[in-house]
Amino acid sequence: MDWHSIFSQALQQGLGPVAAVYCLAAIGLNVHFGYTGLLNFGQAGFMAVAGYAMSAFVATWGLSFWLGSLVGLVLCAVLALLLGVPTLRLRADYLAIVTIAAAEIIRQTVGSVSLLKYFGGQDGLQSFNATFNDLNPFTGSVGIPGVVSWRPYDFWTLVVCWVLAALCCLVVWALMRSPWGRVLKGIREDEDAVRSLGKNVYAYKMQSLMIGGLIGGLAGIMSALQHSAINPSFFATDTTFFAYTVLLVGGAARVLGPVVGTIVFWFLLSFLDLFFGEATSGTNPLIPDWLMDSNQASLMRFVFMGLALMLLMVYRPQGIFGDRRELALDAR
């Protein structure tokens, strides 16, 4: 077993562009769930809206990349409004069900044959990243020699993603120490108490849903750019669940929780993948063939991920960084 290669590849994933995209998605969820207690299970829907708006603007209509991204983010805010109006007055589980349903509506609609000429059906869209690629200042592979290295385009998306994530963290940090942020945390702890102080809880929740949705939209755009392609399978329900796992590993209601969470999560996930991949390959594999073949090996990481999510929630719901007293997970 080649431990050096396993560790370096896992590290490459942990710091890589995919991890950075999930970091952005989880920062959005942190605003929703960590600070406001809103159980948004439709983050993939926000990602899909912005990602598809940007891609379709460039690839289908031949318009500007920047205009497409802007429209995508505006649409995310509109989606937040549409989702919030019927559900923000309801209990947490209703919001969860409606958001997960909305995300699935969006995914199946953009993937449909009826809209094939706009969104490319199940194959999705390609070749929309020319503007973004032209800005790439890197040439040749970049990284720490012998440890990690990325192709120039990957490194460019990685840098942009992490810079965006840092900016979002900064915004979240500034917002949450403002009076506005304290009201949000108050809503999370006890909605009725905040209401009795004369605050419009509904409006605050709506603003939180919009801000988190916008950050999710950024994640969607970066996800499309990172793959140089977009298709409905990027935005399946599991995408949201992964983002939640990232958030909960790092610790909800902590500014840097999603950052640490995504690095740890993707490191471990690809570590398990590589480990079981190596353990089942070769002529005399570590794990015998009758027990596990290479297809089954690629599933082991999800078995462990599911198990880890359960154990985490039971024994350490505050994640690595969180504060158990602060995080009343049963908030509405």
CA distance 25 to 42: 11
- Which positions from 109 to 148 touch another protein by CB under 8 A, shown as an x/- string? x--xxx-----x-xx-------------------------
Stretch that binds another protein, among 6-14, 53-61, 135-143, 300-308 (CB under 8 A): 300-308
CB of 114 to another protein, least distance (A): 5
- Residue from 177, 306, 323, 324 touching another protein (CB under 8 A): that is 306
Q: Which residues contact residue 241 at a Cβ distance below 8 angstroms, ignoring those fewer than 6 apart?
A: none
- Counting contacts by CB under 8 A, is residue 7 touching another protein? no
| Cα–Cα distance measured from residue 160 to residue 155, given in angstroms and rounded to the nearest whole number | 9
Return d(Cα 249, Cα 261) in angstroms, integer. Answer: 5
The CA angle 178-36-223, to the nearest 5 degrees, is: 95
Piece of 6-14, 68-76, 147-155, 297-305 that binds another protein (CB under 8 A): 297-305
Q: Nearest distance from residue 35's CB to another protein, in Å? A: 14
Contact call for residue 248 and another protein (CB under 8 A): yes
User: Which amino acid is present at 193?
Assistant: A
Cβ nearer to another protein, comparing 45 with 68? 45
Residue closer to another protein, measured from CB, 102 or 169: 102
The residue within the footprint of another protein, chosen from 92, 142, 264, 279 (CB under 8 A), is 92
**29 contributes a contact to another protein by CB under 8 A:** no
- Smallest gap from Cβ 130 to another protein, in A, equals 19
Site residues for another protein, window 261-290 (CB under 8 A)?
A: none
The residue among 86 and 288 lying less far from another protein, judged by its C-beta, is 86
Candidates 16-24, 93-101, 214-222, 270-278 — which segment interacts with another protein by CB under 8 A?
Answer: 93-101
- Which of 10, 11, 79, 102 touches another protein (CB under 8 A)? 102
Q: Is 60 exposed, middle or buried (0-12, 13-18, 19+ CB in 10 A)?
A: middle
Q: Per CB under 8 A, does 196 bind another protein?
A: no
Segment interacting with another protein, rule: CB under 8 A, options 9-17, 73-81, 82-90, 258-266: 82-90
- Nearest distance from residue 205's CB to another protein, in Å? 11
Residue with tokens 């990284």: 143
Of 118 and 162, which has the nearer Cβ to another protein? 118
Residue 193: count of CB within 10 angstroms of its CB:
11
Report the residue from 287, 302, 320, 326 that binds another protein according to the rule CB under 8 A.
Answer: 302
Query: Environment class of residue 321 by beta-carbon count within 10 Å: exposed (0-12), middle (13-18) or buried (19+)?
Result: middle
Q: Does position 320 bind another protein by CB under 8 A? A: no
Contact between 39 and another protein per CB under 8 A: yes
> Shortest distance, CB of residue 190 to another protein, whole angstroms?
14
- Contacting residues toward another protein, per CB under 8 A: 39, 85-87, 89-94, 96-98, 100-102, 104-105, 108-109, 112-114, 120, 122-123, 238, 241, 244, 248, 295-296, 299-300, 302-303, 305-310, 312-314, 317, 328-332
